[in-house]
Chain A
Amino acid sequence: MRKSIDAIYLAVASTTAIVVAVAATIVLALSMESADVLAREGLSFVLSPLWSPSEEGYGSYGIALPLAGTLVVGALATSIAVALSVATVVYLHEYAPRQVREAVSVAMFAMAALPTVVFGMWGLSAVAPLVREAGLGALCARGSPTGQSVFTAALVVGLMLTPYASSVVSAAYDAVPFTYVEALHSLGALGFERARVLLGMVKRSVAAAALLSFGRAVGETTIVALTIGSAFNPPLCPFEPAHTVSSLIASQYGNAFLYPGLTSALSAAALLLLATSAVTTTLGSRIARAAAVAARGEGA
């Protein structure tokens, strides 16, 4: 008995070591692939707006435009997700009757279960035509003729992130000790006054939700590739098509072997994506954990 348990333990430990190896492989493989382009381009890989794989010789690889696209789409999508989820959490906790609360929570659950490609298809065939018909493209110099734009992508990604952001905010809101809620009621506070006090108490969790959503928005590929319209524009006007780093990878990696430096450049882009997503997500979960610990402390 004892021996077989030891054998199982050994198997578990070595399997765990494989998981560590998988993570290390991701970072190592990407770094090795991207070393080439980073050595050639240096800082101008991030700073230059010129992306031209077909240029004679090695090609020119500057990722500034898609990188700006990623940041803008990420920021817009995060704002939409956080605004929607904070408002919904307040509504569900302070105003909604029970049946409505249940209906919305089922809807959120269904939304979280939808594959991103379904959101993408919906964005392409429902949201983009709406943007086009509304004539929003006319507001920008290079307005999108198809309705695929920075705004379209950010809106659909923001909606996709909403259930995720609300689960973080809602958990924090629920964790506020009941004595505070009781005290607010006994003072005769109205719904928005209770919400203002309680949101003030969970503001760190709202910040965490924002960072975690941003981390996911940065890496989102499927939705963005279908709805952003893939063009090398600076993302200054939201109704123009643009690129994000992820949509650039999705649209060019398939043919990357045709150009000498493209595979390396796209790997470096992926490495940048991984770093951005990892930093924001780590920061977000750290804040969320600290907020949860603080909430427990106040409750005691």
Chain B
Amino acid sequence: MKPRSIRRKLADRAVHLLTAASALAILGVVGHILLSAVVEGLPALLLGASFLLEPPGPPGGDVGGVGPSLAGTLVTVAIATLASAALGIPAGVMLSEERGSPLAKAAEKAVELIAESPSIVVGLVVFTLLVVPMRRPSALAAAVSLGVVALPYVAAQVRESLAAIPLAYREAAFSLGLRKWEAVFLVLLPMNARGVATAVLLGSMRALGETAPVLFTAGAAFHAFYGIDKPSSTLSLLIFLFAGTPYENWRRLAWGAVLLLTLLSASLAFATRRLAGRVRM
């Protein structure tokens, strides 16, 4: 063989190894995160009902449970999902169907700006506008900031799914004598129910996983769920605040919450993927 072709083969081998190493690194990282979550979190999760229902134990004492934070998570994510759907679906329809109109242009910019806002920034604004006037953090304030964070994802996904409908369906609807908005509401949206459902699920997944928006809006009430307008907490907040504590039982609890949150988030992700076939995240 000529030296030149040997050099080529060697270079190819080197690139092969290097790139394979980076793929392996990704597999390793994901594997290690999931494995740590299972190994460290399973003992807490195996406490079963007491983990899911009870409040955390005293510092240095029993592990206890994540009951109030789980309740807070379910309530805030449910409200955030409803709110982001109520605002995001119409906005997505407008973005897709009225492209170029002044309102759609403004909405396009607005959705982009909200998507670009770091989620801690949204938390700060909700703190100023809701927590300060209400004089206390609350599940409601947390839900509002989660809803705002989820909103652009819902709107963008609805727009994409409507834009992906082949032109032939619009033509068919128009040829039946339907006006533009009749076609949108009577034909295009109903046939696109899957796309809309995907968008809503994507929004709820977003709301479930976020921590920064609830940092100053939820409060840190880990011991009971007091109601929508009272201080509350979420699983993500519990992990964030308990992760760095020196108490072994609280760290164990945080790992249990990591496993629970990962399971919830993964099931939403796979539900989204099954529903949509393929989703742009």
Contacts and interface: CB of A to CB of B under 8 A. Distances in A.
Interface of A: 1-2, 5-6, 8-9, 11-13, 15-20, 22-27, 29-30, 33, 83-84, 87-88, 90-92, 94-96, 100, 103-104, 107-122, 124-126, 159, 162-164, 167, 190-193, 195, 215, 218-222, 225-226, 246, 249-250, 253-254, 266-267, 270-271, 273-274, 277-278, 281-282, 285
Interface in B55-91: 86-88, 90-91
Given A16-B94, A90-B19, A115-B211, A107 B26 contact: yes
A29 B9 CA distance: 60
B129 A116 contact: no
7 contacts: A5-B182, A104-B26, A167-B281, A190-B11, A222-B240, A253-B215, A281-B115
Closest 5 CB pairs of A and B: A219-B118, A115-B209, A91-B19, A23-B110, A113-B269
Given A17-B103, A159-B29, A274 B116 contact: yes
A121 B90 CA distance: 37
Interface string B17-52: 011111101110111111011001000000000000
Interface stretch (B166-174, B191-199, B260-268): B260-268
Interface string B89-127: 011011000000001101101111111111111101101
A23 B265 contact: no
Give the secondary structure class of B's interface. helix
Contacts of A254: 215-216
Nearest to A226: B243
Given A26-B121, A110-B34, A192-B15, 12 more contacts: A19-B88, A27-B113, A29-B128, A103-B27, A111-B26, A114-B209, A190-B12, A191-B16, A221-B119, A246-B120, A250-B212, A282-B116
Contact of A109 (B37, B87, B273): B273
A226 B26 contact: no
Contacts of B115: 281
A215 B121 CA distance: 14
A22 B151 contact: yes
A52 to B, nearest CB: 21
A155 B151 CA distance: 29
A113 B36 CA distance: 16
A15 B103 contact: no
Contacts of B12: 190-193
A229 to B, nearest CB: 11
B239 interface: yes
Contact of B112 (A108, A120, A282): A282
Interface centre among B106, B124, B236 (most CB of A within 10 A): B124
A16 B118 contact: no
Secondary structure of the A contact surface, majority rule: helix
The number of chain B residues touching the other chain, given as a range, is 35 or more
A195 B11 CA distance: 12
Contacts of B116: 215, 274, 277-278, 281-282
A83 B25 CA distance: 12
Contact of A19 (B111, B120, B262): B111
B148 interface: yes
B155 interface: yes
Contacts of A162: 26
Contact of A16 (B104, B148, B236, B244): B104
Contacts of A124: 243-244
A243 B182 CA distance: 54
Contacts of B226: none
Contacts of B29: 111, 159
Contacts of A25: 125, 129
B118 A218 contact: yes
A9 B87 contact: no
Given A29-B129, A104-B23, A117-B240, A273 B209 contact: no
B117 A277 contact: yes
B258 interface: yes
B186 to A, nearest CB: 8
A224 to B, nearest CB: 10
Query: Counting chain A CB atoms within 10 Å of each CB, which of B29, B36, B94, B112 scores highest?
Result: B29
B244 to A, nearest CB: 7
B262 A26 contact: no
B109 A23 contact: yes
Contact of A219 (B31, B32, B117, B155): B117
B110 A5 contact: no
The winner among A29, A103, A121, A254 for most chain B CB atoms within 10 A is A121
A193 B5 CA distance: 13
Given A91-B20, A113-B205, A114-B33, A277 B210 contact: no
